[in-house]
Amino acid sequence: MITIVGRFEDGWLSPDIEFFIWKQLGYAYKVDRIVMVPKLLERRTSLDQYDTIEDAINSCDGEIVFMEQLGNVSLSSFVHPKNAVYVFGNASTNHMNLEGHKVKIDTPSPVDMFAVNAAAIVLDNRYNS
Q: Enumerate binding residues for ligand SAM (CB under 6 A).
A: 67-69, 88-91, 94, 104-105, 107, 112-115, 118
What is the spatial distance between Cα 112 and Cα 118, in angstroms, rounded to a whole number?
9
Name which of 25 and 42 has its Cβ closer to ligand SAM.
Answer: 25
Residue nearest to ligand SAM (CB): 89
Q: How far is the CB of 108 from ligand SAM (least distance, A)?
A: 11
Beta carbons within 8 Å of 105's beta carbon, 6+ residues apart? 67, 69, 74, 75, 113, 118, 121, 122
The answer to whether 6 and 22 are in contact (CB under 8 A) is: yes
Q: Exposure pattern of 44-74 as b/e (b: 16+ CB <10 Å)?
A: beebbbbeebeebbeebebebbbbbbebeee
Nearer CB in complex with ligand SAM: 49/103: 103
Q: Which is nearer to ligand SAM, 58 or 109 (CB)?
A: 109
Nearer to ligand SAM, 83 or 107 (CB): 107
CA 49 to chain centre: 13
Minimum Å gap between C-beta 48 and ligand SAM is 18
Min CB(32)–ligand SAM separation in Å: 19
Minimal distance, residue 45 CB to ligand SAM, in Å:
26
